[in-house]
Amino acid sequence: MDMNKVTTAMIDYYKGDPKRIQHFLKVHAYAKLIGEQEGLDKETLEVLEVAALTHDIGIKVSEEKYNSSAGKYQEIEGPAVAQKMLGDLQYDKEKTERVCYLIGHHHTYDQINGIDYQILVEADFLVNLAEEHSSRQTIESVKNKIFKTKTGIWLINKIF
Ligand SMILES: [Fe+2]
C-alpha cells in the first residue's frame, strides 16, 4: 500500500481540522520510526503504519453521535469507518481486518497482543503526553506501565 494514499484520504476525511490531521501525522511518524528501528517485517510495518494514520478515524462519528471523543466511543465507531475507507482504497482484506482490530483497541492497554499494537499505543502516547501537557508523574507512570520497546523507551526519555 502506498502510504500517501492513506495519508491523503485521512487528510480529506478530517479536512478543516488541523489538530486531528497533525495528530495522526505525528503518531504515524513515531510509529514508523519505532517499527523500523525495532526491525518489524515489511507486512507488520505496513499494518502498523496504516493503523497509525487511521487510529483516530472514529473520533468524527463519536463527536457527531455522542458529543464525545472518549476512547471507548472511538473504539466502537472507528472500525466501520476504516473498513469503508480502506475498502475504497482496495486495501488487502486480511490487513484491513488487523488495522480495524487495532483501531478498535488502541485505548485498551491491558490486552496488547502483538508488536504492531504495542508500537501504536507507544506512538499515540508520545504524541498525547505532549499535546495534553502531561505532568512528570503521568509521564513516568505511562513509561513504567505501558512502554516496552527499546526505541519507544528511548524516545520517551529523550522527548520529555
Ligand atoms: Fe491518537
Residues 41-59: tens digit of each pLDDT:
999 999 999 999 999 999 9
CA–centroid distance, 57 to ligand 1, in Å, is 9
CA–centroid distance, 128 to ligand 1, in Å, is 7
CA–centroid distance, 61 to ligand 1, in Å, is 15
CA–centroid distance, 20 to ligand 1, in Å, is 9
| Number of Cβ within a 10 Å radius of residue 17 | 13
Cell of 112: 496488547
CA–centroid distance, 17 to ligand 1, in Å, is 14
The structure's pTM equals 0.95
Q: Quick: pLDDT tens for 21-43.
A: 999 999 999 999 999 999 999 99
CA–centroid distance, 58 to ligand 1, in Å, is 10
Q: Quick: pLDDT tens for 80-132.
A: 999 999 999 999 999 999 999 999 999 999 999 999 999 999 999 999 999 99
Q: Assign residue 90 a region: left if phi > 0, alpha if psi is -120 to 50, beta otherwise? A: left
145 pLDDT more than 90: yes
What is the distance between the alpha carbons of residues 150 and 90, in angstroms, rounded to a whole number?
34
